[in-house]
Homo-oligomer: A and B are copies of this chain.
C-alpha cells in the first residue's frame, strides 16, 4: 500500500499535527489507524490516510488526501466519525489544516 504526492492533482491534502505526551503516542496512533480502517476509508471522497509518528515521541501526523474540500467537511459532520475524533482530542491537541501541493522534487524518479 502506498500513497502518491504529486503536483496538479485535483485533490485536497489534510495535514493534521497532533501533539501528545510521549507515553500516549502509540495509543494515539492506534486510535487514528482504527478511525481510518473502520470509518474514514468508507466515506465519499476519501483517498488516503498516512499516519506518521515523530522520532522524539511528541507528535503524530496524519497526512490525508481527500477528493474535494466538501468531502473532508462532510466527514467532520458524520456521526460515526465523532467518537474517533473525540478519543484523539482527549489525549492530544490537534491542528488540522487543508493544503495544496505546490512543488515536488524527487531525485529517485
Contacts and interface: CB of A to CB of B under 8 A. Distances in A.
A29 B105 CA distance: 13
A98 interface: yes
Contacts of A81: none
A103 B51 contact: yes
Given A1-B109, A5-B5, A107-B48, A54 B101 contact: no
B55 A102 contact: no
Contact of A5 (B3, B12, B98): B3
A59 B17 CA distance: 12
B97 A48 contact: no
Contact of A2 (B6, B49, B61, B98): B6
